[in-house]
Chain A
């Protein structure tokens, strides 16, 4: 197996006619990382993947794999292997022929290929199934065959284009764990494309969140979730409550934002945005539903709202509240056996802990 090889995008622009699919992308992916590009469909993440795999070349900028500029090197000569969204297994070839196609291309003998196929089939727990056709396998098995086929070429970088999107929920969650385990076993760089933030957060070492061709934030899953740098990232990754108001005061890394109808709320300024925010500016403050809890808290970390509805979701309750004029508020409470939280229409005080509210500049939200 190849070892971790770094992938770098330097000032990459990709244009189709007048349409800019990727705008000035700068990403450095460490060797051996599980790196995800996360964004809604049409944000340019697949385009980036195609530029790394060599199926298209950037209009401007450089793609480096292992420090080597890939300009002019076709997909068949790059140390990458791509797993397609629909897997693109060859339906007329047996499973073992599928897996070892990259060896067949290099002229390996049938016996050699068969041996390697059996090794890889054992690795993906499909031992003895090499003589089947892909159509005889289940969705999860096909998935694993596609992974084995990509790994057979001993690539330095494995590129995955939403390969789990066709699977049902249970299998998808299982495959996440499995993919992560495979990546850690083989130790090569994985670049993963997804619109599912759950996948990105559970599997990745680092995540790049994209919107309309622009990379908004790169960081660990934890960073992206806890300290989003833009309104888009805050609203796209996970659930969030948004309040808009004017910054009254900035005090170190925290800001006091005056929200109409609610009053001043104190939040932490997103590190990436601190230079862009000054007292008197309009800003957005985001508070996660699970950060809210019933009861009075410190000044600036308490808000009052009227209960609109309550939903039971098994492991949690979601309480919908109205804070007067402004946005609907969602509060998520773990199911610890409590009874109804509050009567519909009753007034309720909510609080949140310090550091759990994030202040970012006003920006576009992710459309639901």
Chain B
């Protein structure tokens, strides 16, 4: 009943023609860009990888074998676990959480500074300076970091010049470059939601708390952070989802022995041409990240509506 009224209002304010076009566009976006691709991936993930001749034939039935492969590998008896892939999965999730926490800690003071010193020309310049590197392609940025972290890169040169190390440190093999690259890749998606909410905080509230004798840590704990929580949550969600699903940075900056889960997905699709297996892996990653995000939202008492703000 209520929904009907919303639609009626929508047509009244926009006119029937414009209203229909808008609804059709939203519908197109939902169906073709959100629902259909996911459903087709889901469908793929439950099928066997069959040669074209057998597709649609008697052997083309639904199966859980693709998901079992992640758990048990090629072991048909299910006696041993597929430790390699499972460890890659676990490492990807844990690393993505760490990258998210790192970005959050890094961005909060910056967002507070930007948000509360509103209006000054210097701050606007600073924001532009932060954005400019992101006009460059993600892959190029990853390569730039690879050069900087390389054996003869700037960081090693400086360290050796200062005699802090005699041999160049292998940042690539130590995964330092990978984490730095991931943290850097999506940091603006953490910064801007935080900046937006902190900017909307009434300065008088901070002054009122100060007037009542509150120390700076307490002002942040009781006033600023509760106010900024939706922004922090939406920043964390984006950074976590994108880091866990990143491909370019792990591909370019990851050490030879360290795989990211998305690289496994990529290999199934691209090298093994087993789309069904790749789809199952991708679905596992998607569902796990969603569960993790929902769990954290529950723990920190953030509602879905807050994030959409």
Interface residues, chain A, with chain B CB atoms under 8 Å away = 53, 55, 74-77, 80-82, 84-86, 88, 90, 92-93, 101-102, 104-106, 149, 153
Contact = CB atoms under 8 A, between A and B. Distances in A.
B39 interface: no
B213 A53 contact: no
15 contacts: A55-B207, A74-B210, A75-B207, A76-B212, A76-B213, A76-B214, A81-B211, A86-B202, A88-B204, A88-B205, A90-B205, A90-B223, A93-B222, A102-B212, A149-B212
A84 B223 contact: no
Q: What are the 8 closest A-B residue pairs judged by CB atoms, nearest first?
A: A88-B204, A102-B212, A88-B208, A76-B213, A105-B213, A84-B204, A92-B226, A82-B211
Contacts of A77: 213
Listed residue (A74, A75, A77) with the most chain B CB atoms within 10 angstroms of its CB: A75
Contacts of A80: 211
B213 A153 contact: yes
Contacts, number: 55
Given A86-B204, A90-B205, A53 B211 contact: yes
B124 interface: no
Contacts of B173: none
B207 A81 contact: no
Contacts of A101: 209, 212, 214, 222
Contacts of A76: 210-215
A256 B260 CA distance: 96
Task: Tell me the interface secondary structure of chain A in the complex.
Answer: mixed
B69 interface: no
Contacts of A85: 204
Nearest to B208: A88
A191 to B, nearest CB: 14
Contact of A84 (B208, B213, B222): B208
Contacts of A149: 212
Interface residues of B, number: 17
B214 A75 contact: no
A93 B219 CA distance: 13
Contacts of B223: 90
Nearest to A81: B211
B117 to A, nearest CB: 16
A105 B207 contact: no
Contacts of A105: 212-215, 218
B149 to A, nearest CB: 42
Listed residue (B208, B214, B215) with the most chain A CB atoms within 10 angstroms of its CB: B208
Contacts of B210: 74-76
Given A82-B208, A86-B204, A105-B218, A92 B213 contact: no
A81 B227 CA distance: 23
A126 B79 CA distance: 68
B228 to A, nearest CB: 11
B202 A81 contact: no
Nearest to A102: B212
A84 B207 contact: yes
Contacts of A93: 222
Interface in B206-246: 207-215, 218, 222-223, 226-227
B233 to A, nearest CB: 14
A3 B227 CA distance: 36
B211 A75 contact: yes
